[in-house]
Amino acid sequence: MTKFTTADVPDLSGRTAIVTGANGGLGLETARALAGAGARVVFAVRNAEKGRAAADSIPGETEVRTIDLASLDSVRAFAAGWQGPIDLLINNAAVAVPELRRTADGFELQFGTNHLGPFALTNLLLCNVTDRVVTVASQAERLGRIDFDDPNDERHPYERSTAYNRSKLANLLFTAELQRRLAAAGSTVLAEAAHPGFLATGIYSDSGRRTQILVRLLAQKPDAGALPVLYAAVADLPGNSFAGPSHLGHMRGAPELIGRSTAAQDPQLAARLWSLSEQLTGTTFPL
């Protein structure tokens, strides 16, 4: 366990961070801490009006740019419009939906938004990244399984938690393979992952009564959940680290490095998912 707090975020003056889904919850608190440390923070959000309202609510240098991670055209447009270095790319945005929905490109919405969109965005921006890529994952990955014959639920019945767990396992496999490729290319950029714990955020707004009761009783606030993300972004860590809270089964508390499932540590599974993701998104590792 560490004693890491936002006070331990170093001076980030002159540095640029992109935070996807920064218009509320975990993303907003992550952006708040980075901007408070002097970084220029780009709110990469689907709704520009909500993004501007969120950016105006915090002190520091901010900018709002639109992106819809459920649309590869939108991801490509965001990347094409980017110029200059990116010190930190924080892949934070995620969805959890009760019914089967699809992205603009026909992917199951959770797999598409939580994994394929960030996968494409990272590859398209990677030549600009100078320090770290942090992807927000979850311990839900421990229950995840990727069916390579049906990754988008085209033949099997849809189940919300199954789809979410799959996308979070994909986040960790992506981080592992990204770090392997960065190291092999001689890059000093690090790929890290973070589990924010059990958070009281809007992602549970349409969950059942039992889940909402658990949220009220046990969940921590987004500013506490941002600590593992910030720890992964600025602490002295090896690549492919997984940061999460230190208490209550890694659901609450100060950040520390935590373990992951056997599947999330499988290099062959990570390489296979990378190849599938390249095929589905039409993007490749650029270094």
Q: What is the distance between the alpha carbons of residues 117 and 135, in angstroms, rounded to a whole number?
A: 12
Residue 245 has φ and ψ, to the nearest 5°, of -65, 160
Q: Buried b / exposed e across 35-50, counting CB within 10 Å, b at 16+?
A: bebbbbbbbbbbeeee
231 is catalytic: no
Instruction: List the catalytic residue out of 158, 164, 204, 231.
Output: 164
Q: Answer for the pair 227, 5: CB distance below 8 angstroms, yes or no.
A: yes
Q: Answer for the pair 17, 88: CB distance below 8 angstroms, yes or no.
A: yes
Assign 242 to helix, strand or coil.
Answer: strand
Q: What is the distance between the alpha carbons of residues 106 and 73, in angstroms, rounded to a whole number?
A: 13
Q: Which positions are annotated as active-site residues?
A: 164
